[in-house]
Amino acid sequence: MDPEALRAALRTTLEATHLGALGKKYEGKVRDNYSTEDGRRFIVTTDRISAFDRVLGTLPLKGQVLNLLAAHWFEATRDIAPNHMLSLPDPNVLLARECEPLPVEMVVRAHVTGVTSTSIWTHYARGERVFCGHRLPDGLRKNERLPAPILTPSTKAAKGGHDVSASREEIIASGVVSERDFDAAAEIAMRLFAFGQKRCEERGLILVDTKYELGKTPSGEIIVIDEIHTPDSSRFWFASTYAERFARGEEPESFDKEYVRRWLAGVGFTGDGPIPPIPDDVRVEAARRYIEAFETITGAAFVPDLEDPATRIPRRLGLSAPQEQTR
């Protein structure tokens, strides 16, 4: 994508929506959700970026990249696990089946890495050798591959709170989710991760880790919701340079939001205190990496809709007049 067009898109980032005519609103860290009375949910993927469990600002065209990439994976994995997608009325909007989200995220990890307080590397570097119920071998180096992928679920904190990693036994004992629902969700997560690893390997990528959100339909079926294998939910490394950079003790090449996390950590922010403003150059580079992720994973060019989403989205959704959006 033309760098100047990407920079121009800084002027029309979508920070918030006010589309109350669609239904009851629930605002997540990145997505604004509108539930209808007939069992549907309009999910508007904004350009907000979150890291360290905080909303940090916006990236140009990020919402379109995430929404279109999530739709790509939802379609590709329909035979592996049921999901909530019904249609795509707009590049930023997904129309989905309404369901009750499970209060736990299914996180699958294949490498010892990360910089957040919940990351497996943070715990391992402190000398801990049991993580979410899994015993880890001694002698692992940062970014090293685990003997096999492991499930490390976490609680789902409200916006502004911190997720907490826990073992299967701890989460079931807490009573937030039943053993039956947990195990059904865990099985889906591991199947999706295996498929994602294979597909990414075909594209020259390493799917390092990811999180899945699942929900329960009114009939009791556990289905996949939110997103699958996007740069927000997953960590990707380039396979061609991983081994050489690992041998030198360097960080792998990546195009997930780890770039933003590293920039923030470099200026001393790791989740607490005032959020430093992210310079436009960093925002544009982060957006470029999101687009690169889309194109590498899908094998197709990313063609954005550059019309101002403040007027485009209400029109596409059939609302009588554009409703005020916030940047």
Q: Are 92 and 64 in contact (CB under 8 A)?
A: yes
pLDDT higher than threshold 90 for residue 269: yes
What is the pLDDT averaged over residues 91-110? 97
What is the pLDDT averaged over residues 17-28? 95
Query: Per-residue pLDDT tens for 47-88?
Result: 999 988 899 999 999 999 999 999 999 999 999 999 999 999
CA 305-310-313 angle, to 5 degrees, is 60
pLDDT higher than threshold 80 for residue 149: yes
Domain of 233, in residue numbers: 1-327
At residue 3, the pLDDT reads 86
pLDDT higher than threshold 70 for residue 326: no
pLDDT higher than threshold 80 for residue 17: yes
* Tally of domains within the chain: 1
pLDDT higher than threshold 80 for residue 320: no
At residue 155, the pLDDT reads 87
**Distance of CA 324 to CAs 25, 68, 89, 132, 309, Å?**
15, 24, 19, 44, 10
Which comes out higher in pLDDT, residue 116 or 150? 150
Q: Are 100 and 107 in contact (CB under 8 A)?
A: no
At residue 256, the pLDDT reads 67
Amino acid in position 282: V
What is the pLDDT averaged over residues 168-190? 97
Max CA separation in the chain (angstroms): 62
At residue 43, the pLDDT reads 98
pLDDT higher than threshold 90 for residue 178: yes
Could you give the percent of the chain with pLDDT greater than 70?
95
pLDDT higher than threshold 60 for residue 160: no
Amino acid in position 191: R
At residue 115, the pLDDT reads 78
Lowest mean pLDDT among 116-130, 230-244, 252-266: 252-266
pLDDT higher than threshold 60 for residue 327: no
Q: What is the CATH number of the domain that holds 302?
A: 3.30.470.20
Q: Where is 71: in which H helix or E strand?
A: helix 62-76
Could you give the percent of the chain with pLDDT greater than 90?
85
pLDDT higher than threshold 80 for residue 161: no
